[in-house]
Every structure is written in structure tokens, then in C-alpha cells.
Structure 1
């Protein structure tokens, strides 16, 4: 029987993850992991390398070591060899000799990495030039979803499918009060999930200032309160996020246009709003402001969501137009002016006038001032740091995660990447698998996708068999009197293996994770069709869509298995 000391576990679920990781190592006959005791007891085949056991635990996000008082003689000295192999790792735990990790940023990726690095024995210096918490909690996900939800409530009071029996009323929008409510929740979450955690973690030192690489082993920080500080590091994580991209439209820079940051912080609802952009931020905020009382016009250079399955943009465009939102396709702004409190936007289809102009044309990585070249860190044409699946950059000992990299710009991707980067900075081998990455757009109806679209599968030379189920076949949508949208399943021809799902539905964001798990598990559409789904739920649409591969669902009873 061999025993390992396991650190980093926080619950019984962690113990299960460690056990599963160990059982995958060749030569492990049995593994018993105790969370309360922080141990793993293993029955091994002769000469099973302990280094492989330690590596497997590290890849799962935890740390293993051979206890100093391991009982019994070692087989061929393998315990001694393991202790030698782990020597540098033990050094990280020993006070002043602990590995020093510098983290640039304090958002989702940065915080996840800093906390995991501390958990694995490192000292961390976290450097933030602005507000603690980064984009998501301060000016992104949290405030935007509060605004969208408030706008949804206003919309339902004004109009719903049940107006014949539930009287509607035009709501009075007090934007300043909504903003105060929004900001209070932002402040609460920033303090609870970022500031207080940093204050309560002695191994993390927060430095307020702007960092740039001096070389591949140190940073120079221009301190917010004046002066400079040099921060040497053993490992460094760049997690500086991204900012709103501003297109080079003549005259735009001389006007008081909004980006999403200013729009979310505005205490007014303008009578006329023009939105330049056709993707996530543009459409979410366009619909929210329309529902709060603005007359909204969207300028789409192509069509809405033209990079996705064409049906997605078509359904959303129809829904927007039905609500009174004007969507101008194949339309570009050629010049912008502002005079007398009014924006004048010249386009290839005429002149538009508005009280406010929102520019939402994507986000640019915050990397320009870091002197990445001086540290040997490569970026792509957009300025995004190029990383591999382990968050390593082109420079040894420098890692990157989040929106400043060439990975998808989602906070949950950033946090997962930050955690894995910290594991790898401590000698682990954790990878980030994005093959079943779900994405949600919080419009009404919502848009949610995971895996491959038909076009992406064909680009990868995979033959597909796909089915699209409109929501008038879904009982939950029927009883909601809202059948806008569809569920589309993309399967591999022949095997039926589920490759991707695209959904447009009122609760598509609550549906898509089930699809992601099915893809991750390698399920076929036939497996999905035979699962039990609760009735009446929107997620049942996945089962019904899967059944269309072999049946006509219009000929089935309501909850036919």
C-alpha cells in the first residue's frame, strides 16, 4: 500500500476527482482518497512510477507528495526517487523560498490564477492599474445582465402573450433609480468576490499601478500614487483583459459616442439611439434600451450574427423588427458628426440622426503598453497574446489567460484558463479543452451555441446529418405562447455522434449546458432521444429534436418516450 499526501482539496467532490485521476494511471489497481485526512492510499503494480501519480494529481488541479514518514521499505528506492523528483515542489512550500508569481490584472482569469497559485504554495503579487475585479463584475457581464433583466420586466408590463387576460400598462422608466440598484449590486459583488478575498489572503500582495515588462524575469510598475516599483518573478501571468474597439470612422473620435461602458453607466434613456455593430454586445444593449423606451436603429455591416448559422440572425432580426427595432443590413457608417446635442451618421444608405450613438464593434486586447516584445512574448495581428492549450506564451515562465489572449472572450473561459495556468506554473500539465464550450447571447429570444455548426464541421471534412426543430413543436413554448426560435442538432453522418447544437429560444441559455455535457460525453442523437427529460421544460426540446432523426414528432403524444 502506497500513501500520498494530497493538498488543495476543499470538499468530497475534490476527493472524487483525485481518485478518478489516479485510477487512470497505468499500474494503479485501486485508489482510496480521503478529503478529511488529505491522503490517497493506493495499491500499485510493481515499479509504478510515483512521478506519474503526482503528475496525474497535478493535472487534475491538486498537489501530491510522498509523506516524510512513509512506512515500509521502498521498492527499488522508488519513494526516494519520488522525493527527489518532488524536491523543487517542496521548496515552494517553505516560507521565504516559496515561488513568486506575478499576476497582471484582477479580473476572472487573474483572480482564479492567484488563488490557485497560493493554494499550491506560491507567493503572489497582483498588479491592477484600475478597479479591482476587471471587466465582468464592473462594466461587463453583471451590470449588463441587470440592465437586460430590468428591460425585460418593463417589456412584459407593456406587452405579453397574455394581454387578453392580464391587463398591460405602459411602465414609467426611472433610469437613475435602475442605475443606482445596478451599481449597488456591482459594488456588493466586487467587494464580496474580489476585494474581501484579496484582503483575506496574506500570500497575495496587491500593487496598484500599471505594469510593463522590464525583461523576461521582472516587471516595472508605475505606481498609482507616484513612483515606480520593480517586481521580479519566477512565473508571470498576463491577464489584462480587453477594451471596446473603436472603428476608424471619420469624425467619430471627435464626438461623445458611447461604448458599452458609458451606455451601462448612463442615467438617461435617450429618445433615439443608433447602434453600430451586429454581434453580442450590440444586440444585447440595443434590445435593452429599446425596451426601456429608446427608438433604436442597428447598423449591421453584414447581417446580425453573420458568422453563425444563418437561421440565428434571421430569427433574431425578425424578433427585433417585430418589437420596433430597426435593423439596417449591409449598412456602414462613412462619417459621424455631432452638433447641437445631435449625432449625424452618414451611411451608404442615407443619413441617420440620433441623440446617442453606441459603438459596439468588438473588443481589443489590452496589451499595447506591456512591452511584451521586450519579454519575448508573441502577439497576433490583433495584439492578442498567442497561447497554447496550457496557457503558455512564447516566453518561458510567462503565461497568459483571458480576453488579452487569442482564446474566446468569455469570463468562464478566462477563469478556467487562469486556474490551469496556475497549475502549470507550479509544474502541472493542465490543458483547457474548448471543444464543448457553450456560448449565450442574452437577447429575447436568447441565442445559445455549443460545439460545431454545420459549416464548421464541413470545414473539418466531417460529413453531417442535421435536424432543425421549430419551437411550435415544443410543449413548453406552446404553453408560454411564445414559439419564436428553433433547436438545431448537428450530428456526424453514420454514427449519429452529437457534434453541435444551435438554439434560439426564450431560455436557450438554460438549455445549452445539457447539450454541452452530451457532447463532452460523446453521446449520439439516439442516446439523447432515449433520455428522460422533465415535462414541461424548454430543455425537453433537445430530446424532441433528437427524436426527429428517426420520427415525426408531430405524430407523437405530448410526452412520448
Structure 2
């Protein structure tokens, strides 16, 4: 691996130029190296490694696990167990998080490509001057046969009056704050806002969520949202659905948030701590000069790609959060590999997300794969739903934790599993099995007839499959 300094005379011609430095970019660079392709990676903004390792998946999950440890030190579901409490050194938690993030950024990204012979890495902002050329930092031009745009996405900042005049935070800045805020108001109840709320509430921060739609996790069916919202409220998180912030201003008592309530009336909320913006993400395309090359975007501003990661320009591919594909670190890596293989080999690979598994790391966790019942209806599929409460799962019963459910969706005509949704403690650990079942056409009958270790949460999958035809409440523990 070589590094370019913009003050040096650069090598200006490459087989492939990757714009971006996250998961899609590194996956593409690894693939390019295996094919012997000369490659330039140009990255700006976040450090190499991108959102996931620096300000997204990794730091958020560290804090969620730390917060879980604190929570269980103060709460017990067993009458005979009385926790003594916990002392939280918030600053130390954040410092440990920073060190682990830095270690993983080095080991899982920079060290991986350190011995690459065909890769050159450059810090700088890239802008297309034509479809074969980029200008970096307004200084040097670089040309390539093919390009991969993998610039990711950033927090969508809503156009609320006064927002730019307060010291608001996003996940990119909140996770580095070593002084624990007294309280936070989170704008947005999507997965980012909910994971932040879970972690910081359990670390001793008073948390309030403002959501302009009618419920949390609005992309999911109402039963998923309701189950999650109920448990978050029980932990003391204040949730205000159908509240829309219209103005923010500072005062001696804190930040005043002027909100429109569900009935249309206005109210004032005082936030003595911090305001956190978690109102979704927007693709990072505004610095690329895409207007000069007439790159096609979706109505939401993402780069329009085919399943092969092709754009409307033959020599330009795109991958990751900047595109109109599922915004996950593992899909981005998958797409980066597909893009380079399609661009430089005889491969004809296409992305397939029909069985894609995903997890929201709240508590209980929310996980899914395939279709839910609304999506199945939209596709006019003949389907049936089985929904099993965790109160019918032996593992959950003995753990005294029956929060949530397992929901399976099957095609009535084929009996094949076509979708699953789980709300459960550690429910994310179940979803890969269901994703594989969807991918390989496993029937519900086969799920029901398989062996599952007794007193595992996975046994809930068997019981949910049996529920399509029987009342599991009338079966003995090990009956089928």
C-alpha cells in the first residue's frame, strides 16, 4: 500500500479509483488487489473505515453493551436476587470506547491493506471533472478506466428554524462526549435514535424522544413498534409520537424546543442537556460534482444502481449507503466486491436481498428477514402469519423475561417461509437461521420437525412454526 501526499507529484492513472473509505471501499480494494488491478482510494471526512467502525455500528454497540451491564447491576427479574447497584464512570466508558474503536479501525481496515502492492490511498475530497477524471482538493487530477463511488451517507439535518444556532449533536459527535449530559432529547425514532436512547438511558442519562410520525420504528408493522415502545417506556424513556419540532432557541434554562402536538397546538419543551439529531441519513453526493457527468439519482438523492452496482454511466459503479440499496455495513461490503468483479472480470453478479437479515440493537432487540405481512400483501402473495408470544417459550419463561414475540410468514401454497420478525432479548441471534430458511426454500413443516435444544431461545422458532397448525399452549414441553 502506498500513500500519496498532495504536495508530491502524484501517479495520475489507475485502473480503478474508489471514492470513499468505508466498508464498500475496502471490500472493493481487497477484490481489486486479488485481480491485480491498480487502485487509488480517495477518502475524506471520516477516517478510513467509514461510518461503521468510527461513528456507527461499533461505538454504538460498545455503549449498548456497557449500558446493559449497568442495567443488570441494578435490576433483577428474580425475587431472590437483589442487585446492589452500580457506579458508572461515564468518562472512562467513553475513553475505553475510543480506544477500542481506534484499535479496530487499525486492525480491521488499515492493517488489512498494509501489504497491498497495487493500492494507493489518499486523503482528500474528490470531484468529477468528467466521467474519466477526478480533481482532489482542487489541486491534482487523477484518471481511471473505472470508478466506484462509495461515499456513504451522513445524518440528515432537518430544516428546523434555529437548529443551526444551537450546539446539537449527531451520532458522529455524541459518542465522543466524555462528560455525561444531564439529559438528551433525541429527534427521530428510527433505529439510530432508538439504539442511542437504549444506551444512554441505561447509562444514567434522562432520555426523551420526539418522533414526528405516529410511532417508533415506523418502517415496521404496528405490533413491532408497540411492543418495543412499551418496553422502552417501562424503562423510563419518554416518547412523544406525532410531535414535530418547528423552532429551537437557547435560554438560561436550556434549549427551548417549540413543538406542534398531535392536535395541532403548540407547546414548549425545555432540554437542559443536549439535543441529538437522528432523523435519518442522506447520501453523500453533494461534493462529487455529479451534475458535471449527469449521474442519475433517485428522488431521494441516492445514486441509482442496478443489481450489478452499475450506474447510468458505463464506467462508473456505486456501492453502499450512497446508493438505493439497504444501508448496512455488510451489504456495502457485498456490493463493493460485486462492483469490482463485474467491472474487471467476466463475472455477472447481481445483488439479492430477498432474505436479507437485519437487527436493531435495542432491548428487546428487533430483527427481521424477508417479507412482513404488509409487504407480502403488496406483492399479492398467498400468505399466512404465525405469531408466538415469548410467554410460550420455555427459555423465556425460566429466564423470567417474556418480552416480545416471534412472527413467521409463510406462503400458503408452498409452505415455504417468506419472512420473519422477532422482538426478543437477544432476538438478533435467531434471525440468521430464518434468513437461511428463506434463502434456501425451507418449509414451515421442515422448521417444525427439526431438532432444537430444549430451553434455548431458538426453540421458539420450532414453536412458532408449529403454531401455524396447533395451539402450542396445549402441548407438553417437548411435544411436536
Give TM-score scaled by structure 2 length.
Answer: 0.93
- Cα deviations by residue, 1:55-109 (Å, 9 ceiling, x for unpaired): xxxxxxxxxxxxxxxxxxxxxxxxxxxxxxxxxxxxxxxxx9x971100111100
Aligned match for 1:438, one of 357, 369, 372: 357
How many pairs were matched up?
Answer: 460
Q: Which runs of 4 or more aligned residues in structure 1 lie more than 2 Å from their structure 2 counterparts after TM superposition?
A: 164-167
- Deviation by residue 1:262-314 (Cα, 9 ceiling, x = unmatched): 11111122222111101100111012111111111111212112221111110
Aligned-pair Cα RMSD in Å:
1.4
Is residue 549 of structure 1 aligned with residue 468 of structure 2?
Answer: yes
Assess if the C-alpha contact under 8 Å between 1:368 and 1:383 holds in 2. Answer: no
1:102 lines up with 2:14 in the alignment: no
Q: Which runs of 5+ in 2 are unaligned?
A: 1-10, 262-266
Tell me if structure 2 keeps the 8 A contact 1:221–1:230: yes
Indicate the residue corresponding to 1:247 in structure 2: 158
Q: Are 2:68 and 1:156 equivalent residues in the alignment?
A: no
Which protein is bigger by CA-based radius of gyration? 1
How many angstroms apart in 2 are the aligned matches of 1:170 and 1:200?
A: 49
Deviations 1:309-346 (A, max 9, x none): 11111001110111111111111112111233611111
Quote the Cα distance in structure 2 between the aligned partners of 1:376 and 1:332: 36
**Preserved CA contact (<8 Å) 1:137 1:189:** yes
Tell me, in whole angstroms, the C-alpha distance in 2 between the residues paired with 1:335 and 1:463. Answer: 47
Select the residue among 127, 135, 144 that pairs with 1:212: 127
Question: What is the match of residue 308 of structure 1?
Answer: 220
List alignment gaps of at least 5 residues for structure 1: 1-95
Distance verdict in 2 for CA 1:151–1:117, change over 3 Å: same
Q: Secondary structure at the match of 1:304?
A: coil
Q: Deviations over 1:386-428 (max 9, x none)?
A: 0000000010110000001111110001000011111101132
Report what 1:23 is aligned to.
Answer: none
Q: Is 2:290 the partner of 1:372? A: yes
Comparing 413-422 and 379-388, the one that deviates more: 379-388
Q: Which residue of 2 aligns with 1:270?
A: 181
Matched, 1:507 2:418: no
What is the CA–CA distance in structure 1 between the aligned matches of 2:253 and 2:430, rounded to whole Å? 44
Q: How far is the alpha carbon of 1:549 from its aligned partner?
A: 1.0
- Counterparts of 1:28-67 in structure 2, within 5 Å, are none
Residues 1:493 and 2:412 aligned together: yes
Map 1:456-467 to 2 at 5 A. 456-467=375-386
Any idea what the Cα deviations from partners look like across 1:404-459, whole Å, max 9, x if unmatched?
Answer: 11111100010000111111011321111000111100000000011001110111
The residue correspondences of 1:70-109 to structure 2 (distance < 5 A) are 100-109=15-24
In the TM superposition, residue 124 of structure 1 has moved relative to its aligned partner by 0.6
Higher relative contact order (CA 8 A, sep 6+): 2
Aligned to 2:83: 168
CA separation of 1:120 and 1:527: change in aligned 2, threshold 3 A: same
In the alignment, what sits opposite 2:8? none
| Distance in 1 between residues matched to 2:361 and 2:456, nearest whole Å | 19
Would the aligned equivalents of 1:99 and 1:121 in 2 still touch at CA under 8 Å? no
**Scaled by the length of structure 1, what TM-score is found?**
0.80
Q: Structure 1 residue 351 and structure 2 residue 262: aligned?
A: no
In structure 1, the partner of 2:238 is: 326
In the alignment, is the contact (CA less than 8 A) between 2:14 and 2:143 conserved in 1?
no
